[in-house]
Structure 1
C-alpha cells in the first residue's frame, strides 16, 4: 500500500510546487511590487519552489517506474550515478536567475515610482483612447449627417430639455420635399409650436418616452392636416444619444388612398348583386363573390375547391368556350347551372379574357335567368292579352270618336248659329236703340225748347212737363246702357271667336290715363258720395296696345269702383315695377270681394252678390272684368285682384313697357 501511495504523493507535490512557482514568477514579472523585502522573499520562494519541483518530478518518475507503471528503462536511467548531478545543476541555474533578478529588480523601482509610472501610463492610455474616441465620434457624426442628408426619408431632429420641452433642432432636405415646407423657421421651437396639430394627439408624449427610455416608437398612420401640410405618414422615432431624438417619416397618403380604394373595390365586388367568378384555364376558381356563393348554395371555401364542371351539366362546352374566349376576348352565352341541392336553372354568362401577371384568366359575370324567363312568359301572356284589349278598346274608341266627331260637328254648327244669332240680334237691337237714343234726345231738346215755356204760370202743366222731361232722360240713359251692354256682347263674341283684333301701337300712358279719368266723370256724377284720386307721374314709360281697348279697361275698373264704394274714394295709382313693367292699381273703399268669389270674377256673366258682405246685386251683365282680362292677356300683361281684410279692393294691372333705347339705336 505504501509503495503505491509514494508516487501519488510525489505527483501531488509536483502540482503544488508548480503552482507556487507560477505565482512567484508572475509576481516578479509584474511592476507592481511594493518593497525590496517582498521581492527578496519572492526570489527565495521561487528558488526553493523550482528546486523542490524538479526533485518531485525526478522522484515521481523513479517511484512510478519502480511499481511498473512506467517502462523499466526510466528506473535504470534515473538510478545511474551520474544522474545525481542533475539536481545540483538545476540549483545552480536557479541561483544564477535569482542573482540576475536581484540586480535588475531591487535597485531600480520603489513602490512610489511604480505608482507614478503606472499612473502616467494610465493617463497616456486614457488620453490616446479619448483622442481616438473623439476622432471616431467626429467621423460618426459626419457619417450620420451624410446619412441624414442623403436619406430619401424625411428626418426630424429633436433635443429633450430637462423641463421635458422637446425642441425641434433640424431636418434633412427630404423632409422639406415630403412636407412641402421650409423647416428653417421652425428650428428652436417646441414640437407643439412647430407642429400645432400634434399637440392633442399624444404623439409628442410618445416621442419623449422614446427619447427617455431608449425604446423606439413607431406608427404606420399619422394623419396630419394643418396649413400647407396635409397627408398620412408612417413614423419611426428613436434615440440617437441621450437627450437626442430622430424621427423618420415617409408620406403614405397615396398608399392609404390606394389601400382605401382597394378595400372599397373589394367590398364592392364581394357585395355586388351579380355573381362574379375568376376562372383559371383548367376550369378551377380563383375568386368568387358572395352573390356567386348564394346563387349556387355553396360556401366560398367549397366553391374555391371546385371547377366549372361541378356547377353545370353543360361541362362539355367548357373547352370550346375557353378556346373561343382566347380569340375574341369577350362573349355572352347561356348555359344550365346546377345548385348544391341539385336544382337545374338557366344562366346567362358574360365572360372576358384577362391576362394578368403573365397568367390567363376568365373573368365572368353570371346572372340567374329563371325569373327573367318567368317574366318573359308573363310579359308574352300580358302582351297577348294587351293586344286583344287594345283591339277591343280601339274598336270602342273608333266608335266613340265617330260619335264625338258627330257631336262636335253639331256643337260647331250650334256655336256658329249662336254667334250668328247673337251678332244678328245685337245688330238688330243696336239700330233701333240708336234711333231711340237719338230721337229721345231730339224730343227732349225740342220739348224743353218749344213746350216748356208754354207751361209757365200753370203749376199743374209745369209739373207734368218736368215729369215728361225726366222720363225722356231715363229712356235715353237706359237705351244707352242697353247699347253698351250689346257692345260688350259683340266684343266678347269676337274675343271668343278669335276675330277681335287689337291694332297695337306705342301708347302715351299718361294720356290714356287722363282720357279714361276724364270720361269716367259721368260715373262719379251718378255717385256724388264717391271721389276719384289720381296719382300718375307725367313721365310714365310708353306701352304697346290699342288706345280704345286700354281706355275701356280703365273705364270698366273705374265704373266698378264707383258702383261698389258707396261713399269713399276710388284711387288710380300708376308707377313702374323693379322688373321695369308698368303697373296701374285701381282701388276702392267698398266691402271687398269674398275669398271664394275671387277666382270667378273674371269669368263671363259672373256677378258678386253676398248678403254677408253687404254686397247687393249690381246692375250690368257681368262682362266688364272678363273683357278687361282678355284685353290685358292679349297684350302679354296680367290683371289680379287683392282684397285686404280691412275692406276695399285693388285691381292691379302690369304691362311690359316699350324699349325706347332699342328704337333710338335703330334710328
Structure 2
C-alpha cells in the first residue's frame, strides 16, 4: 500500500521538473532569439566584425565575419572560417593581439586598441578595434577603418611641427635682426618688439605705453609729430600693396638721446602694422663728415692756390711801397698815403697767412709739447683783453704731452676763445676752458673712424652766449663765413682749425643750440713714450684725416 505523502512529494517534484523544463525551453528560445538578433545586428553593422571561439583553452578559431568586414578588408572572410587566428592572419603572429583575444574568451575582459600599419614612414592602413566576450569561450572583434583619420592626424602633427619650426626660425631671425622690428595692432598698441628695437630705443615691450603713447614719447613735439603723421597718412592712401615708402626722421630714445631712424612700414590684412626701424644715426653722421671733408678739401685747394699767388703779388706791393717810403720826405702827403697802403698790405698778408693755414700749405714744426703752459699763457692774454662782463672759469689740469706745432696749438686756443668772447660781447656770460686727460673707448672710435681708442688730451672751450642754429652750425668751419657785421670778422678764425687738427691726428666736435651757448671739444692723441725724443720717427707723427662732428640740438623733443 502506497504512502500518500510520498506520492504527493513525487508529484510535486514532477511539477517542478516540468516548470524548470518550461523555463529552460523559454530560456533556450530567448537565447536563440538573442543569438539571432546579435547576428542580425552584425550583418547590418557598418563596422567590421570578426567572431572567434576558444578551443582546447589555446586554439583561437575564426568562426564568422559580417559583410562589412568583407567590404572594409576587401576580402571574402568566409575562407578564414575554421582556421586559427595565426593561420587566418599571419601578420598578427608575434603581436599581442592573439593572446589578448584568448584572455577575453577566458575572462570576459574588454579591450580597445588602434592598429596602424606603417611602411616607408607613411600610414598604409589603420583600424580602431573594440574586442569583447559574447559568451564564455567566445568573443567578437569590431573594428573600423581609421586610415584617413590617422593620416590626417599625422599630417596635422607634421604641419604643426613644421609651423613650430618656422615660428622658431622666424623668432631667431627677428632676435638676430640688424634692424628693430615692432608689430603694432590696429589700435596702435605694440604687440611685439625684438631685441634690436630695445637696443635702439631703450624700451622693452613691457615698458611701452599702450596705444599711441610710445609715438608721443619718441616725438613729443606736437608740430614735429604732425609733420611726420601727414606724409604717413598720404602714403597709406596711395598704397595698394600695404607697403609704405621708407622715411627717415628723428626720435628721442628712453635715455633722452636723439637718433636718426629710417622707418619702413608694412600694413597687414588685419590692419596691424609690421614696422622696421633702422638706426642710421652713425651712417648720417659719417655721410655728413664725408661731405664736409670733401667740401673743405675742395675749398682748401682752391683757396690755397689763390692765396699762394696772391701772396706773391702782395710781396711786390709791400716791397715797392717800403722802397717808395724810403724816398718820400717825412711828413709829406705821399708818406701818409703810402703808410695806409702798407698797413692794408699787412692786413692782406695776415689774411693770406690764415688762408694758407686753412688749406694746410706751408711747413710745420712738430715737437713734443706740453699744452698746459700754452693754455695758461693764452688765458692770461685773454683776461687782459676781455670785458669784465665775461667771467673766465678754468680747469687746466692735464700734464700730457702731444706731438704738435706750438704756434698752431696757440692759434687754436686763441681762435676758439675769441669766438666764444664774440658770442657774449653784448650780454656778458661765462667762458669755461678745461684741459683734462681722456681715455676714449671703442664707442668714440666708431664715431670717429679715423681715430683709435686710447689716451687723448681733451681741450674744451664753452660759452654761455646766444648759441647757434643748425643752419649756422653747418657752416661755421667754412672759410670767410661769419655771422658778425661787416668789418668785424674775416670768417677765417674757425676755418683753420680742422686743417690744423688733421695734421695733428686730432678731431673736433661742436655742441650748440639757440640760446643755450656753444661748446667745442678737441681731442689730441697723447704721445707714445718711445717716440718722445725722436721727431723723425713715423710713430711720433700723428696721421689720419681730420673730422668735424656737429651735435645739433634743435630743442625738438
Indicate the TM-score class for this superposition, using the shorter chain for normalisation: 0.3 to 0.5
TM-score between both structures, scaled by the size of structure 1: 0.29
More helix by share: 1
Q: Which has the higher contact order (CA 8 A, sep 6+)?
A: 2
The higher radius of gyration belongs to 1
TM-score between both structures, scaled by the size of structure 2: 0.34
